[in-house]
């Protein structure tokens, strides 16, 4: 290839619009990307994976380029975005669509109000990529063979209803804008959401949650209008005493490249506060050394490592979930490697709507049956919440017990009973 052609390709690759136009959403496009070396059996395996996945496929060329294709099955980037039928294990019997019960806590379409003073605004249902492990697999992305999505389209009329609720509910001082991903909002839409929220006097903090910096960092460096809109909101917030922050989603140190560094440096210099949320996944980052590298790299970019979540119960990713015991162990290995404020809190987002709990804070944890029970006194004081380890981390006997509805129900009721007794100080 001539030097000019190479330069043109490099220029295109660094352009977010080119990346979005060339995002791969179908297996035939993936086959074309791989070229002559595409393995027919592998492509059929991916088709099988997609048929059993609640998330549609969408991957930017940038992410495809991060995958080590010579180590496709084990690659930690591939695992996040491309399902393979042969690796999918049966789901845990407690898996439910919308495991966090977000829709039960939605007073208006696209707003989750569970915590007293905090709300989650689902600005859109689109993302630059679609992650297999997405908590919001009930609504984000295109329909799949398994799931007809509950849409949250980026419409001003929908946002107006949400803004009216927030204005009428001044107890809410903290709003997370997520979805979907603000990287898929147009600059005018980003401004409309940001300025709409800033016009509500009771709101003191606004967070934009995004995977974008990890999968499309060139958006920040090449889409000047979009970055300008984000910086304008950040500046306007600071001027009126409202904290605006950008919550990124890096899961592996290899997601941090020269493109990421350029984007993060630009945002830091322009005063955008950044924090990171990671999802703990087997084969991706369930290794203290990988986590340490990630935390160090993020800290150097002034992106504060904030949370590490255990993986939610989402269909088709049982093999990627980690046990509560492993999460506790990795947290212990990590604590002390750097400053405390750059050490992430490991949390379980409890199924059923208890919110995020420190992974160590269970009332009871039975490693044999793989069930942990949490209390959430500030959210639902009367209720106990359970999180379950992946079946493959349990003995064959425990796996058999979970597959028998009567024994499974007894495991649950026994665990709840022990947890109640412990929380009342009887054990
Ligand atoms: S970017 Fe976020 S909202 Fe979108 S699919 Fe991934 S995890 Fe879900």
**pLDDT band at residue 387 under the 50/70/90 scheme:** very high
> Is the pLDDT assigned to residue 27 strictly greater than 80?
yes
- Which atom of ligand 1 sits closest to the CA of residue 127? 4
Phi, psi for residue 175 in degrees, rounded to 5: -125, 130
Same domain for 164 and 58, yes or no, is: no
Per-residue pLDDT, 76: 98
- Ligand 1 pocket mutation, candidates 120, 136, 307, criterion most atoms within 8 A of CB: 136
Phi, psi for residue 41 in degrees, rounded to 5: -65, -40
- Which atom of ligand 1 sits closest to the CA of residue 215? 1
CATH number of the domain enclosing 300: 3.20.20.70
Contact 85, 42 (CB under 8 A): no
Same domain for 46 and 108, yes or no, is: no
Does the beta carbon of 130 lie inside 6 Å of ligand 1?
yes
Same domain for 324 and 373, yes or no, is: no
Q: Is residue 140 part of a domain?
A: yes
Cα 269 to the chain's mean position, in Å?
Answer: 26
- Which atom of ligand 1 sits closest to the CA of residue 209? 2
- For 342-359, the pLDDT digits (tens) are 999 999 999 888 889 999
- For 303-338, the pLDDT digits (tens) are 999 999 999 998 899 999 999 999 999 999 999 999
Does the beta carbon of 140 lie inside 6 Å of ligand 1?
yes
**Strand, helix or coil for residue 201:** coil
Q: Is the pLDDT higher at 378 or at 104? A: 378
Least trusted range by pLDDT, from 122-131, 320-329, 348-357, 386-395? 348-357
Same domain for 133 and 47, yes or no, is: no
Cis peptide before 153 (omega within 30 of 0): no
CA of 196 to the centre of ligand 1 (A): 23
- For 76-87, the pLDDT digits (tens) are 999 999 999 999
Residues 6+ apart with CB under 8 A from 338: 295, 296, 299
Strand-strand pairing, 205-209 and 243-248: parallel
Same domain for 351 and 394, yes or no, is: no
Nearest CA-CA partner of 234 in 191, 203, 281, 282: 191
Q: Is residue 94 part of a domain?
A: no
Contact 144, 56 (CB under 8 A): yes
**pLDDT band at residue 290 under the 50/70/90 scheme:** very high
Residues 6+ apart with CB under 8 A from 293: 253
Average pLDDT, the chain: 93
> Is the pLDDT assigned to residue 1 strictly greater than 60?
no
Same domain for 73 and 142, yes or no, is: no
Same domain for 215 and 150, yes or no, is: yes
Same domain for 357 and 367, yes or no, is: no
Does the beta carbon of 184 lie inside 6 Å of ligand 1?
no
Percent of the chain surpassing pLDDT 70: 97
Which residues on adjacent β-strands are paired with residue 305?
A: 276
Helix axes 396-403, 405-423, angle to 10 degrees: 100
Same domain for 163 and 233, yes or no, is: yes
Outline where DSSP puts E strands in 48-187: 111-112, 118-122, 174-178
Nearest CA-CA partner of 232 in 270, 264, 196, 181: 270
Residues 6+ apart with CB under 8 A from 277: 209, 247, 248, 249, 306, 307, 308, 309
Same domain for 313 and 193, yes or no, is: yes
How many structural domains is the chain composed of?
Answer: 3
- For 238-289, the pLDDT digits (tens) are 999 999 999 999 999 999 999 999 999 999 999 999 999 999 999 999 999 9
- For 153-191, the pLDDT digits (tens) are 888 999 999 999 999 999 999 999 997 899 999 999 999
Same domain for 289 and 341, yes or no, is: yes
Per-residue pLDDT, 104: 79
Per-residue pLDDT, 425: 75
Classify residue 245 by its DSSP letter: E
Q: Is the pLDDT higher at 59 or at 422? A: 59
Average pLDDT over residues 3-26: 86
Please give the residue range of the domain that contains residue 267: 103-361
Spatial strand order in the sheet of 243-248: 111-112, 118-122, 174-178, 205-209, 243-248, 273-280, 303-310, 345-350, 355-358
Q: Is residue 98 part of a domain?
A: no
Ligand 1 atom 8: residue of nearest CA: 134
Per-residue pLDDT, 354: 87
Q: Is residue 181 part of a domain?
A: yes
Per-residue pLDDT, 353: 84
- Which atom of ligand 1 sits closest to the CA of residue 136? 8
- Ligand 1 pocket mutation, candidates 142, 176, 181, 247, criterion most atoms within 8 A of CB: 181
Same domain for 57 and 131, yes or no, is: no
Q: Is residue 97 part of a domain?
A: no
Q: Is residue 95 part of a domain?
A: no
């Amino acid at each position: 290839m001539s030097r000019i052609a190479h330069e043109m390709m490099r220029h295109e690759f660094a352009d977010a619009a080119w990346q979005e136009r060339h995002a791969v959403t179908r297996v035939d496009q993936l086959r074309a990307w791989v070229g002559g070396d595409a393995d027919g059996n592998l492509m059929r395996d991916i088709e099988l994976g997609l048929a059993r996945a609640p998330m549609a496929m969408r991957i930017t060329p940038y992410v495809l380029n991060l995958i080590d294709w010579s180590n496709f099955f084990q690659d930690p980037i591939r695992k996040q975005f491309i399902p393979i039928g042969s690796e999918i294990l049966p789901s845990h019997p407690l898996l439910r669509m919308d495991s966090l019960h977000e829709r039960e806590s939605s007073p208006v379409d696209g707003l989750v109000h569970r915590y007293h003073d905090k709300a989650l605004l689902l600005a859109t249902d689109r993302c630059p990529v679609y992650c297999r492990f997405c908590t919001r697999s009930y609504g984000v992305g295109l329909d799949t063979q398994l799931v007809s999505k509950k849409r949250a389209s980026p419409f001003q009329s929908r946002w107006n209803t949400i803004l009216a609720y927030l204005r009428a509910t001044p107890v809410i001082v903290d709003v997370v804008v997520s979805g979907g991903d603000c990287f898929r909002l147009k600059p005018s839409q980003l401004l409309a959401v940001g300025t709409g929220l800033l016009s509500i006097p009771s709101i003191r903090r606004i967070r934009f949650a995004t995977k974008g910096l990890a999968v499309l960092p060139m958006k920040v460096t090449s889409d000047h209008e979009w970055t300008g809109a984000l910086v304008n909101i950040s500046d306007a917030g600071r001027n009126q005493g409202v904290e605006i922050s950008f919550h990124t989603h890096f899961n592996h140190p290899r997601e941090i490249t020269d493109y990421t560094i350029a984007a993060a440096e630009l945002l830091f210099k322009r005063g955008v506060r950044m924090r990171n949320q990671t999802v703990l996944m087997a084969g991706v980052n369930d290794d203290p050394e990988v986590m340490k590298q990630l935390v160090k790299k993020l800290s150097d970019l002034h992106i504060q490592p904030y949370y590490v979540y255990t993986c939610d119960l989402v269909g088709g990713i049982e093999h990627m979930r980690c046990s509560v015991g492993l999460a506790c162990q990795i947290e212990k290995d990590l604590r002390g490697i750097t400053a405390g404020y750059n050490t992430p809190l490991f949390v379980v987002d409890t199924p059923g709507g208890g919110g995020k709990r420190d992974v160590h804070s269970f009332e009871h944890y039975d490693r044999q049956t793989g069930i942990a029970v949490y209390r959430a006194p500030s959210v639902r004081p009367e209720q106990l919440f359970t999180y379950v380890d992946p079946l493959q981390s349990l003995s064959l006997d425990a796996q058999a017990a979970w597959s028998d509805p009567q024994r499974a129900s007894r495991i649950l009721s026994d665990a709840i009973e022990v947890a109640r007794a412990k929380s009342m100080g009887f054990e």
